[in-house]
A and B are shown apart, each in its own frame.
Chain A
Amino acid sequence: GAVVSQHPSWVICKSGTSVKIECRSLDFQATTMFWYRQFPKQSLMLMATSNEGSKATYEQGVEKDKFLINHASLTLSTLTVTSAHPEDSSFYICSASGRYNSPLHFGNGTRLTVT
């Protein structure tokens, strides 16, 4: 099946620093990538949708200047958390999709802890 690689799996950083999370589709071309945030025992919160070569579409309430998303190719999307604060600590998950009626293929997530 389709594989999505997400790195790093966990990261600890200090307040004020920036963290980059990579999401790669290894064996298919991802037309669209979605970035989610998940709080403990809660569902997925969609942060943004990105299509290759175009600007990401952010959901309401998500700061686009804080959560920078780049989708430079059909196999790579990155999420950069800029000037991280403790409240940004969370589990971030990327997913990639081909056709509109295809299932999403998820990365294994990144546990971000900001101290």
Chain B
Amino acid sequence: AQSVAQPEDQVNVAEGNPLTVKCTYSVSGNPYLFWYVQYPNRGLQFLLKYITGDNLVKGSYGFEAEFNKSQTSFHLKKPSALVSDSALYFCAVRAGVRGSYIPTFGRGTSLIVHP
């Protein structure tokens, strides 16, 4: 069975500082990895994905993530945080066989950026 772990319920960072939101995964087969952001009372918005190719992927709003196969990680990063980045972030993986690519989500990490 596939799984996604986001070890931190909450990450606090000062505006202008770099941020990292951690994600590790466990799958059979090649993983397709995604990050989403959720603002209060809204659905999730897609930020970025890793399918194949370069391990460093860039996404929306200045976010990037690095795929590390040996550590089975896909941490989300941003060089300089903004207060408006404060939201709930979800890591997700799709993997499987015979078309059973049901996505699995982590439990979410609340990012709080302080002015």
Minimal beta-carbon separation of A56 from chain B (angstroms): 12
- Is A13's beta carbon under 8 Å from chain B? no
Dominant SS at the A interface? Answer: strand
Q: Find residues 89-107 in chain A having any chain B CB closer than 8 Å to their own CB.
A: 91, 93, 95, 97, 100-101, 103-107
Whose C-beta in chain B lies nearest to the C-beta of A106?
B43
Contact indicator B42/A108 (Cβ below 8 Å): yes
Contact indicator A43/B103 (Cβ below 8 Å): no
Contact indicator A100/B43 (Cβ below 8 Å): no
Minimal beta-carbon separation of A9 from chain B (angstroms): 8
Minimal beta-carbon separation of A46 from chain B (angstroms): 7
Which residues in A have some Cβ–Cβ distance to B below 8 Å? 1, 4, 6, 34, 41-44, 46, 49, 91, 93, 95, 97, 100-101, 103-109, 111
